[in-house]
Amino acid sequence: MSRLRFPPQVLRRRLEAFKEKLRLKNIDAAMIRVQSTYTYFTGTKWLRPALLVPANDEPILFAAQGEEEELASRTWIGNIVTFKDGGDLMAKVSSIIRNNKYKVVGLEYGIERDAYIVFFEMFKRLNPGVKVVDISDIVYEMRMIKDEYELEAIKRAGEIAVKVMEKTLSIIKPGVSETEIAGEAYYHAYRLGSEEPKVYVNVGPNPRVHAEPFRDIKVREDVAITIVLGIDYNHYYINMSRTILLGKSDAGEKALKCMDEVYVKALELTKPGVKPIKVIMELDNIYRKYGLINHRVVGYLHGVGLQIEEPPITTIMPKHRFTEIKRGMVVAFIHAPIVLKGVGQVKREDTFIVTDKGLEIVTKLE
């Protein structure tokens, strides 16, 4: 029984376009170990992903012995080679490379699970005659523009996220811990069909930009409570954040007002043809007006898709601030929070599809 979630012809079309790009750069084959890129071409997530893509031949999937039948039901790729353990996998990959006399092989220099440098170093040792090149730019150039099937999955993820956020916000009261808030979000996310949700919670007064929840930090009435959701559907994510205040905090209320104004201005300025750096400069004028320029994280936008956060990532990759916004991209903002000691972090973030007419919001919370 097939469990493939996208039409096989769509997935094959992606892979054929990728192979053409490899040929143009004189790359003989690419070894895919990055989870999200593996999913992009195969149609499924898989623990310990391994996919060899020859530039002039059919792709080869690798699966641990016993897993091949389930994997075959979730992908369009028919050539599956089994392995006993990690060493056997590397040996079989290297054997195929030697037998086919591949001289240039592409690897994605990623930061995801299974893109470990130990595998990179092992690959080089096992294939001393092979030139290894980075194919990250090729992959992300392709993945940046979404097709109709990707957009449909992202919209469905947005619908789930809104329901999860509503349910989660409803339980916030003094004494509730960050882990209880996260648990509520995870409970509803899984029930509604998200398979790999990510939840971050920051209850002030001490701000944490990337806030994995602690059980010993609990809600009180004079601080900010920020919830960040990464909700997936058919492997595609949205990113959504909300901050609320219980009780009164002058500093917190000023930060929320500033964030709302920044959000509205970003919504006005982000459109096809614009580069994020120009928007960032305009947003900084608002932060200055509120006296919060030194409390904001630089950058405001990132891409969303098979990863919660993918290129362009303007907060951590300065060169991405000069990437032109294009129709078909999916972006999230305001990604960068206002960080205030004594309050916490303040954030308002939604996911948008870039269209010819502007932005279509995916995570609309009334």
**pLDDT tens track for 159-185:** 999 999 999 999 999 999 999 999 999
In which band, very low, low, confident or very high, does the pLDDT at 121 lie, cut at 50, 70 and 90? confident
pLDDT, tens digit, 9 for 90 and up, residues 14-39: 999 999 999 999 999 999 999 999 99
In which band, very low, low, confident or very high, does the pLDDT at 125 lie, cut at 50, 70 and 90? confident
Tell me: do 204 and 342 sit in the same domain: yes
- Tell whether 3 is covered by a domain: no
Average pLDDT, the chain: 94
- Tell whether 119 is covered by a domain: yes
How much is the pLDDT for 114? 53
How much is the pLDDT for 366? 82
CA distance 140 to 138: 6
Q: List CB contacts of 206: < 8 A, sequence separation 6 or more.
A: 341, 344
- Tell whether 366 is covered by a domain: no
For 319, how many CA atoms within 13 A lie in the half-sphere containing its CB? 2
Helices (H) and strands (E) in the chain, counts: 10, 16
The CATH code of the domain that includes 102 is 3.40.350.10
Tell me: do 70 and 159 sit in the same domain: no
Which of these, 74, 228, 238, lies nearest to 156 by C-alpha position? 238
How much is the pLDDT for 210? 78
Q: Is the peptide bond between 334 and the residue preceding it cis, with omega within 30 degrees of 0?
A: yes
Measured distance between the N- and C-terminal CA atoms of the chain, rounded to whole angstroms:
40
Domain end, chosen from 143, 172, 197, is at 143
Tell me: do 173 and 215 sit in the same domain: yes
Tell me: do 29 and 99 sit in the same domain: yes
In which band, very low, low, confident or very high, does the pLDDT at 115 lie, cut at 50, 70 and 90? low
Mean pLDDT (whole number) for 53-66? 97
In eight-state DSSP terms, residue 128 is T
Tell me: do 241 and 345 sit in the same domain: yes
Tell me: do 83 and 183 sit in the same domain: no
pLDDT score of 116 more than 80: no
Tell me: do 184 and 258 sit in the same domain: yes
Tell me: do 317 and 340 sit in the same domain: yes
In which band, very low, low, confident or very high, does the pLDDT at 127 lie, cut at 50, 70 and 90? confident
Which pairing describes strands 338-340 and 330-333: parallel, antiparallel, or unpaired? unpaired
Tell me: do 30 and 122 sit in the same domain: yes
pLDDT score of 117 more than 80: no
199: exposed, middle or buried (Cβ count in 10 Å: 0-12, 13-18, 19+): buried
- Tell whether 1 is covered by a domain: no
Domain end, chosen from 127, 143, 159, is at 143
Instruction: Write out the DSSP string of 36-102.
Output: HHHHHHHSS--SS--EEEETTS--EEEEETT-HHHHHHT-S---EEEESSHHHHHHHHHHHHHHTT-
In which band, very low, low, confident or very high, does the pLDDT at 119 lie, cut at 50, 70 and 90? confident
Tell me: do 153 and 21 sit in the same domain: no
Domain end, chosen from 117, 143, 169, is at 143
pTM over 0.85, yes/no: yes
- Tell whether 136 is covered by a domain: yes
Residue type, position 363, single letter = T
Question: Which of 56-65, 204-213, 294-303, 344-353 is the least confident region?
Answer: 204-213
Tell me: do 138 and 248 sit in the same domain: no
How much is the pLDDT for 65? 95
- Tell whether 204 is covered by a domain: yes
- Tell whether 38 is covered by a domain: yes
Show the domain range for 253. 146-361
Domain count, the chain: 2
How much is the pLDDT for 112? 65
The CATH code of the domain that includes 191 is 3.90.230.10
Tell me: do 316 and 354 sit in the same domain: yes
CA distance 245 to 286: 21
